[in-house]
Structure 1
Amino acid sequence: MKSTAEMLGYGPNERVLIINADDFGLCHSSNKGIQKLLTDGVVSSATIMMPCGWAREAGVWSASHALLDVGVHFTFTSEWDLMKWGPVYRGGSTESLVNMEGYFHRDSKTFERRADAEQVRLELIAQVEMALQMGVNVTHADNHMGSLYGLQTGRDFLSEVFDVCAGFGLPFRLPRFLLLESGAPAPPELAAQALKVAAEADRKGVVVLDYLVALPFQAAPNETYAQFKAQMIALLKQLKPGVSELIIHPALVTDELSAFHGEPLKRGMEMDIFRDKEVQDVLQSEGIKQIGWKELRHYQRRISRP
């Protein structure tokens, strides 16, 4: 079986990395931080949470920076107490997607249990179309909090995701080869399930990743930047051959962010980590090639032509 990296023309032993800044559009602090990382070439790409209040700022800015890789962060959960959002679809009912206040459910488990698949499909389309209407040159799609993967109850919405991504010609964040948080390969049963889902994406013409990696989203007790950096360097050195995406959630640490976000200091660390010279030196010394999602989108659209 060829890896995604080999499909793109890379060698079987080459390590190719996409660094994606999630949660673009969440708030002004996230936007300003991610804009800087994108324009400085520190991250490869970002994805916009279209239902959020600051999505328009992110979208309009992205439309004026069309050469940068910006995608849609499919959002179906609203996890914070003081900052909430709900569906962007306005053409019919979204009742199964929201709570009594009209906001998305707080967690993925509730979403998986209650969501109607057709309402999910329409909301997926609406989020992509909203970005396109703003002029965003949408390069890819991924998923906020993993709500569409069925990780909590086993009820996933990936068939709907693949259909929508195929329709718009967008690759999607999904690992072909599953890794545990330790970096070790997943048990055979889970690994086989990941390959099965990736095969469905292949059949529908949607390009996916080889690997998906990240450090824990929540800070450890009394975690220091030095500890975080050591973990990131170790993760980079352990990357396997193929296309890996590494997820971060950078933001400027401001009063705005601290007012609602449970991990503002960790977001600040993620803002700094790939601007760190030691980390950049590791990327270079390890021979890790950085690419953007546009390369995957170009391949997907090329092979899907009749």
Structure 2
Amino acid sequence: MSTARALGYGEEDRLVIINADDFGLCHTSNETISDLLAGGFVSSATLMLPCGWARDAALWSARHPEMDVGVHWTTTSEWDLYKWGPVCRSSATSSLVTDEGYFPKDVKAFERQADPEEVKAELIAQLEMALKLGMRPTHADSHMGSLYGLTTGRDFLTIVFEVCAAYGLPFRLPRHLLTETGQVAPPELADQALKRAEEAEAYGVVVLDYLLGLPFGEQPGETYESFRAQFIHLLTSLKPGVSEIIVHPSAATAELQAFHEQAAKRDWERRLLQDEMVIRTMEEQQLIRIGWRELQRLQLSM
């Protein structure tokens, strides 16, 4: 059964969650994402607890419990000029960090070196930090997909399911895997995704039907208009079920530009979510906007 059907919707209903990743990354991201949440332009956000502006974002979430904010489990630190590391202080984290004490820059290094017990302790520590700051997380997901095993095949998903089950959190995992063009993935990959979704459900963890997003970096010759056209095509191509669309919106301020190599595109995403053409498309397509809170309620009722 699809997640949409489990929520009580019909076979052909198309539900969409638009999630703003990287809440807590910096002051600019916090201002942008909190404004988009308050304006209803995004359905939810996920917070990077190891980052320098995490406390500000978590306290905002605590003051606005009606907003869907989850934990963006972070185990990589991708920028050269701005780094972060584990929040766990109660157990060893040596397999999670570089010689400098930061998380590794890329997912491959993390997958190769991370000890599963240390990963689990760090995931729990990030959740506990959110709770101590007054948050009531509605869901969890994985920054840069570092927990999925996408580069080496060494994933940490069983740990994720255990922690999500213990804390009552649905998780960003698609039941049906799509390619970048929105087509169903090759049978071998599609079967693997379905098996991991079934494993999550065996733990009582609710997952998505589909997961989508546009390329993170600016493409050759790309303009805001062509990017908007891509996004509109994505919206019109959504399949029946619950789809999450990942975005990383932020104004392109001097703060963001000081460390972020894709600041301009992050600003495009900020504009895109408030663009009248995009909003009109969602209305014309009769897409049903929901948040992660609906999935969490389903999980807690099971």
Partner of 2:140 in structure 1? 141
Whole-Å Cα distance in 2 between the matches of residues 34 and 137 of structure 1? 17
- State how 1:261-276 maps to structure 2 within 5 Å: 261-276=260-275
Whole-Å Cα distance in 1 between the matches of residues 132 and 244 of structure 2? 27
Whole-Å Cα distance in 1 between the matches of residues 294 and 126 of structure 2? 22
Question: Is 1:120 the counterpart of 2:81 in the alignment?
Answer: no
Whole-Å Cα distance in 1 between the matches of residues 153 and 69 of structure 2? 29
Partner of 1:45 in structure 2? 44
Question: 1:58 deviation in Å?
Answer: 0.3
Partner of 1:249 in structure 2? 248
Post-superposition Cα deviations, 1:147-177, rounded to whole Å, max 9, x if no partner, equal 0000000000000000000000000000000
Question: Is 1:110 the counterpart of 2:113 in the alignment?
Answer: no
Query: For structure 1, which runs of at least 5 residues remain unmatched after alignment?
Result: none
Show structure 1 runs of 4+ deviating over 4 A: none
RMSD (Å), alpha carbons: 0.5
Question: 1:145 deviation in Å?
Answer: 0.3
- State how 1:49-60 maps to structure 2 within 5 Å: 49-60=48-59
Partner of 1:299 in structure 2? 298
Identity of aligned residues (%): 61
Partner of 1:10 in structure 2? 9
Query: For structure 2, which runs of at least 5 residues remain unmatched after alignment?
Result: none
Partner of 2:129 in structure 1? 130
- SS class of match (1:139): coil
Whole-Å Cα distance in 2 between the matches of residues 165 and 273 of structure 1? 32
TM-score, length-scaled by structure 1 = 0.98
Whole-Å Cα distance in 2 between the matches of residues 125 and 178 of structure 1? 27
- SS class of match (1:70): strand
Whole-Å Cα distance in 2 between the matches of residues 247 and 69 of structure 1? 14
Post-superposition Cα deviations, 1:84-109, rounded to whole Å, max 9, x if no partner, equal 00000000110000000000011000
Whole-Å Cα distance in 1 between the matches of residues 251 and 29 of structure 2? 6
Whole-Å Cα distance in 1 between the matches of residues 143 and 222 of structure 2? 24
Whole-Å Cα distance in 2 between the matches of residues 34 and 127 of structure 1? 20
Post-superposition Cα deviations, 1:6-36, rounded to whole Å, max 9, x if no partner, equal 0000101100000000000000010000010
Question: Which residue identity is paired with 1:270?
Answer: E
TM-score, length-scaled by structure 2 = 0.99
Partner of 1:97 in structure 2? 96
- SS class of match (2:138): strand
Question: Which residue identity is paired with 2:88?
Answer: Y
Whole-Å Cα distance in 2 between the matches of residues 24 and 13 of structure 1? 32
Whole-Å Cα distance in 2 between the matches of residues 271 and 17 of structure 1? 18
Partner of 2:229 in structure 1? 230
Question: 1:115 deviation in Å?
Answer: 0.1
Whole-Å Cα distance in 2 between the matches of residues 284 and 23 of structure 1? 27
Aligned residues: 302
Question: 1:60 deviation in Å?
Answer: 0.4
Whole-Å Cα distance in 2 between the matches of residues 191 and 254 of structure 1? 40
Post-superposition Cα deviations, 1:198-224, rounded to whole Å, max 9, x if no partner, equal 000010000000000000000112421
Whole-Å Cα distance in 1 between the matches of residues 73 and 32 of structure 2? 20
Question: Which residue identity is paired with 1:177?
Answer: H
